Amino acid sequence: AQKITQTQPGMFVQEKEAVTLDCTYDTSDPSYGLFWYKQPSSGEMIFLIYQGSYDQQNATEGRYSLNFQKARKSANLVISASQLGDSAMYFCAMREVNTNAGKSTFGDGTTLTVKP
């Protein structure tokens, strides 16, 4: 079974609007971390935001927030006030502490295009 599922291969958003990128995960490990990375066309991977499985509040980093719904095993990324520079591929990743020796598993990604 896929551990990280990103169901949106591509998304479009108008500049200055908000957009939600979906991520669901599967784990039986009670201790895990969830990450979002951005990959522009240059190929580099840029860390955006982290959510721990025991964190009580949703993580926020500037225009990025993570909508963490633990019971649903969902960790959606919300980008507010989209900018043209947000056009990129976005990856959700999970790291399980106890069951997977700290390895990270990545989803297949969502390509976001911001329209002017």
Partner 1 sequence: DGGITQSPKYLFRKEGQNVTLSCEQNLNHDAMYWYRQDPGQGLRLIYYSQIVNDFQKGDIAEGYSVSREKKESFPLTVTSAQKNPTAFYLCASSSGGASQYEQFFGPGTRLTVL
Assess 35 for contact with partner 1 (CB under 8 A). Answer: yes
Assess 50 for contact with partner 1 (CB under 8 A). Answer: yes
3-class SS at 113?
strand
Assess 87 for contact with partner 1 (CB under 8 A). Answer: no
Helix, strand, coil % (nearest 5) of the chain? 5, 50, 45
CA dist., res. 78 & res. 10, Å (int) = 15
How many beta carbons lie within 10 A of that of residue 80, not counting itself?
Answer: 13
Assess 1 for contact with partner 1 (CB under 8 A). Answer: no
Question: What count of residues does the chain have?
Answer: 116
Phi, psi at 6, each rounded to 5°:
-115, 110
Assess 64 for contact with partner 1 (CB under 8 A). Answer: no
Assess 26 for contact with partner 1 (CB under 8 A). Answer: no
Assess 47 for contact with partner 1 (CB under 8 A). Answer: yes
Assess 96 for contact with partner 1 (CB under 8 A). Answer: yes
* Residue whose CB is less far from partner 1, 37 or 68: 37
3-class SS at 34?
strand
The residues that touch partner 1, with contacts defined as CB under 8 A, are 4, 31-33, 35, 37, 42-47, 50, 52-53, 91, 93, 95-97, 101-109
